[in-house]
Each structure stands twice: as structure tokens, then as C-alpha cells.
């Protein structure tokens, strides 16, 4: 019997109504996440990574935002049909999210202890004493020294890396089954980035939770993800197991992202490659493949018809008319 996925998203579409027109931010994405699995969602800024995850948790301001299509089944229940009051029981307790900038996510006028204990008392019904004891355990778990004393400190008294550890502790406080990490290492230096990635990987293994890791850097996810979803202009353009994606990328955009990665075996006279052109204007409804204007493999068909995500190998899908190995139609 096939095990039901922890999260199953079908045809999610989100748009924003602005004075300039309708921004087509997410254009019908579908994917699954299994228990204990780490799925990385990669793509350049503005491709819909964060908006799609915010849509799942119904954190999109409506208006101007609108989730106008799609279903998201968490443990078999469509969370997109839940009321705001029902979603308050899901957020934090079942699905937690770490945001990109901890300084703007933490309340600057409340102590770290106050912010950590709030969710514990709300979702788990702990007393203040129980919640503070658990908060100390959480801070210790994420590697913050002298946790009992630091419980009374404020966000500005922590470094960027330590604030991100506090955000992780808050996200894990109610032991969620799914953790969404929205570019949690972007604002940190590379040494701290590696520490945060190692910390989240270790916590995933000890807590057996699933993770959706949002990033624009394919290099970060190489050693931590089980599966990678590549997004462009609000579409999923490729999805594969992490080894398969690196060994045999099937979409020109994925090829371009990988070519832009720094490599230790690159010759000194070799320059990093960049992707020509600019991302598409999301105010315009897509016609044809959205990557076609920037694609070295583009054919006439690419400019006229947008390909759907199609299986090209076991557990490997791509939305492209072209076989990138031969340059001809699939």
C-alpha cells in the first residue's frame, strides 16, 4: 500500500492585484513532500518560491493577494479551505516557518523568552514555568550558550547567526511535522551558513520532520536535500532527486544555474557564466515557455506553447520541449 504524502499540493495559483495590473506570481504548481523528506525549492528572486509557501500557510495579504486556484492536502486535509482560526492551529504546531531575515521576524520590544514561550503556552497549554524550562532546552538544542540567562535578552543583543538559531528554536518549539525554511542563510556569512545548514540537518534527523528549504543557491542544497524543485516565473520547470539533478539536468534553466556555480575544479582563466537577459514581466500572462527569451536551445515551438512538466526518467520531470543533450525536440 502506497503511503500518503505528508503534503500534497495540486495546481496552486496565486496572483496579486496592483494598480499596474495583475501579477501572476504562482502559475499552477503541483508537488508532494513525504514524511521526513527534505525538498529544496530553488530559483532566482521573484520566481514564486516564497509566495507559494506563504500561500500554503495562508499568510498572503488578501487583498491585494489572491489564491485563486489549487488545493494543499496536509495529512489528507485541504488546509487552503480552512478558516483563519483553524489555520492558527496549523501554523507553528503542525507546519512551522523560518523566515529570511530574523531581525524583522522577531519582535524587537519583547524578550526572546517571551516570544519562545508564547507558542508553547498557546499550542501545548504549558504553564509559564513549564514553557520557560522548555525554552531553555530549545535554545540549548540550537547551540546558544548560557541559554537560561539569554532567555531574558532582546533580539538586538544577538548576532545575525544567533538570531537565526532563535528563529529555528521557535519554529521547532511545538515539534512540527513540516518545517519551511525561507532562505534562512541568505543574510549570513558562509561560515555561519554552514553551521545553520548542519544544525537543521541534524535536527531533522533527530526529530524526523520534513523540510522544505527555499533558496536561490543550488550549492547550499547539494548535501542536504533529497529532492530538488526548480522554479522559474511561477512555474515548476524541473523536479528530480538531488543526485539526478546535478548529474543530468534536463531543463536549460537548471543547466544555466549549475553553470553559474563556483567550482573548485574550474580553471583560473574560466569565467563564471551568467544567464543573459532578464526575468519575464509577471504582469503579462505567460505565452509560450517563459524561459524562451533567455534560452540558447529555444525553438519556434518554445515561443508559442508552454510545455507541461513531463516525466523523462524515474523520479525526474522537466517542462521543456527540447532535449538539452541533442538540441532537438524530445
Q: What pLDDT does 63 receive?
A: 83
* For range 115-139, the mean pLDDT: 84
Assigned C-alpha cell, 85: 482560526
* For range 238-263, the mean pLDDT: 87
Handedness of CA 253, 255, 261, 262 (dihedral sign): negative
For residue 188, pLDDT over 60 is answered with yes
Q: At 149, is the pLDDT very low, low, confident or very high (cuts 50, 70, 90)?
A: confident
The residues with which 39 forms a beta bridge, in sequence order, are 212, 227
Measured CA angle at 144 (ends 96, 183), to 5 deg: 40
* For range 36-47, the mean pLDDT: 88
* For range 306-324, the mean pLDDT: 88
The β-bridge relationship of strands 7-18 and 21-33 is: antiparallel
Within 10 angstroms of residue 3's Cβ, the number of other Cβ atoms is 7
Q: d(Cα 41, Cα 209) in Å, to the nearest integer?
A: 17
Q: d(Cα 21, Cα 284) in Å, to the nearest integer?
A: 9
Q: Any idea which of 92-96, 191-195, 293-297, 307-311 has the lowest mean pLDDT?
A: 191-195
* 330 within 8 A of 251, measured Cβ to Cβ: no
For residue 258, pLDDT over 70 is answered with yes
Q: What is the pLDDT of residues 57-83, one digit of tens each?
A: 888 888 898 898 899 999 888 999 888
* For range 291-310, the mean pLDDT: 88
For residue 2, pLDDT over 60 is answered with no
For residue 269, pLDDT over 70 is answered with no
Q: d(Cα 55, Cα 87) in Å, to the nearest integer?
A: 12
pTM over 0.85: yes
Q: What pLDDT does 1 receive?
A: 43
Helices (H), the chain: 49-56, 84-90, 102-105, 112-124, 128-141, 147-150, 160-172, 190-207, 218-221, 242-247, 252-259, 300-304
Q: Any idea which of 15-29, 47-61, 115-129 has the lowest mean pLDDT?
A: 115-129
Q: What pLDDT does 135 receive?
A: 87
For residue 103, pLDDT over 80 is answered with no
The β-bridge relationship of strands 77-78 and 65-74 is: antiparallel
Longest Cα–Cα distance in the chain: 67
Backbone angles phi, psi at 192, to 5 degrees: -70, -35
* For range 88-114, the mean pLDDT: 82
Q: What pLDDT does 251 receive?
A: 92
Q: What pLDDT does 187 receive?
A: 64
Q: What pLDDT does 89 receive?
A: 83
For residue 291, pLDDT over 60 is answered with yes
Query: Which position has the higher pLDDT, 141 or 311?
Result: 311
For residue 41, pLDDT over 90 is answered with yes
* For range 77-102, the mean pLDDT: 84
* For range 123-141, the mean pLDDT: 84
For residue 267, pLDDT over 70 is answered with no
Contacts of 199 (CB under 8 A, 6+ apart): 142, 143, 165, 168
Strand arrangement, sheet containing 316-318: 95-98, 178-182, 210-215, 38-42, 227-232, 235-241, 316-318, 310-313
Mean pLDDT, the chain, whole residue set? 84
Q: Any idea which of 1-5, 110-114, 286-290 has the lowest mean pLDDT?
A: 1-5
> Using the 8-state DSSP alphabet, how is residue 48 labeled?
S
Amino acid at each position: 500500500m502506497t503511503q500518503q504524502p505528508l503534503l500534497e499540493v495540486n495546481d496552486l495559483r496565486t496572483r496579486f492585484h496592483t494598480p499596474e495590473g495583475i501579477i501572476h506570481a504562482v502559475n499552477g504548481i503541483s508537488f508532494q513532500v513525504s514524511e521526513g523528506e527534505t525538498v529544496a525549492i530553488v530559483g532566482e528572486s521573484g520566481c514564486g518560491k516564497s509566495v507559494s509557501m506563504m500561500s500554503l500557510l495562508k499568510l498572503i495579504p488578501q487583498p491585494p493577494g489572491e489564491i485563486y486556484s489549487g488545493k494543499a492536502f496536509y495529512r489528507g486535509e485541504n488546509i487552503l479551505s480552512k478558516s483563519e482560526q483553524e489555520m492558527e492551529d496549523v501554523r507553528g504546531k503542525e507546519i512551522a516557518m523560518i523566515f529570511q531575515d530574523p531581525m524583522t521576524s522577531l519582535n524587537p520590544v519583547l524578550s526572546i523568552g517571551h516570544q519562545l514561550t508564547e507558542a508553547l503556552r498557546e499550542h501545548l497549554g504549558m504553564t509559564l514555568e513549564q514553557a520557560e524550562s522548555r525554552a531553555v532546552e530549545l535554545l540549548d538544542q540550537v547551540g546558544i550558550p548560557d541559554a537560561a540567562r539569554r532567555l531574558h535578552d532582546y533580539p538586538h543583543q544577538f548576532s545575525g547567526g544567533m538570531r537565526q538559531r532563535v528563529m529555528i528554536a521557535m519554529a521547532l518549539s511545538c515539534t512540527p511535522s513540516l518545517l519551511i525554511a525561507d532562505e534562512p542563510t541568505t543574510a549570513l556569512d558562509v561560515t555561519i551558513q554552514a553551521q545553520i545548514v548542519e544544525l537543521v540537518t541534524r535536527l531533522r534527523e533527530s526529530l524526523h520532520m520534513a523540510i522544505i528549504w527555499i533558496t536561490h543557491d543550488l550549492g547550499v542544497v547539494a548535501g542536504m536535500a533529497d529532492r530538488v524543485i526548480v522554479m522559474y516565473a511561477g512555474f515548476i520547470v524541473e523536479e528530480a532527486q538531488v543526485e539526478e539533478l546535478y548529474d543530468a539536468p534536463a531543463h536549460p534553466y537548471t543547466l544555466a544555474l549549475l553553470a553559474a556555480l563556483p567550482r573548485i575544479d574550474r580553471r583560473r582563466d574560466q569565467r563564471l557564466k551568467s544567464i543573459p537577459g532578464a526575468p519575464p514581466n509577471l504582469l503579462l500572462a505567460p505565452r509560450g515557455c517563459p524561459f524562451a527569451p533567455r534560452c540558447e536551445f529555444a525553438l519556434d515551438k518554445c515561443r508559442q506553447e508552454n510545455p507541461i512538466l513531463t516525466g523523462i526518467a524515474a523520479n525526474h520531470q522537466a517542462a521543456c520541449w527540447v532535449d538539452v543533450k541533442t538540441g532537438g525536440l524530445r
